[in-house]
Structure 1
Amino acid sequence: MLRLTVSTEEYLMIGDNVKIVFLGGTKNHLRIMVDAPKDVNIVRSTVLENRVTDPEEKAKLPKY
């Protein structure tokens, strides 16, 4: 796990082809832009949590 403090317009590279740009926001809301190839699956945590209906499986999802 990596925890960072970043400024607006800074970005992270994951590998050679995934770029995450921090666009700004407020204390509780952050706007980001993800630039990745179409074959890279990007899913928000809320979507993952809503897909899982079994309580045991839901308990296995990471909590941050």
Structure 2
Amino acid sequence: MSTRAKCLIVLIGLMILDILPIPIVGLIGLYVIIKRPRWFLEVTNRLYDEGTKSAVSAEEEI
């Protein structure tokens, strides 16, 4: 499963949890902004790497 699909599933799950009275997505966003965890940088790099790979493979097909 690609990183993009995993992130999409997690975001959908967080949107469902955000219906509860506790704003979970906002708290996670605040944590990421303040602490800058290593896992967030790794996920971001993987997402951009997958994007450039698909763009390069699309250009190779032409």
TM-score, normalised to structure 1, is: 0.28
Name which one, 1 or 2, has greater alpha-carbon Rg: 2
Going by fraction, where is strand more abundant, 1 or 2?
Answer: 1
> When you count helix as a share of all residues, which structure comes out higher?
2
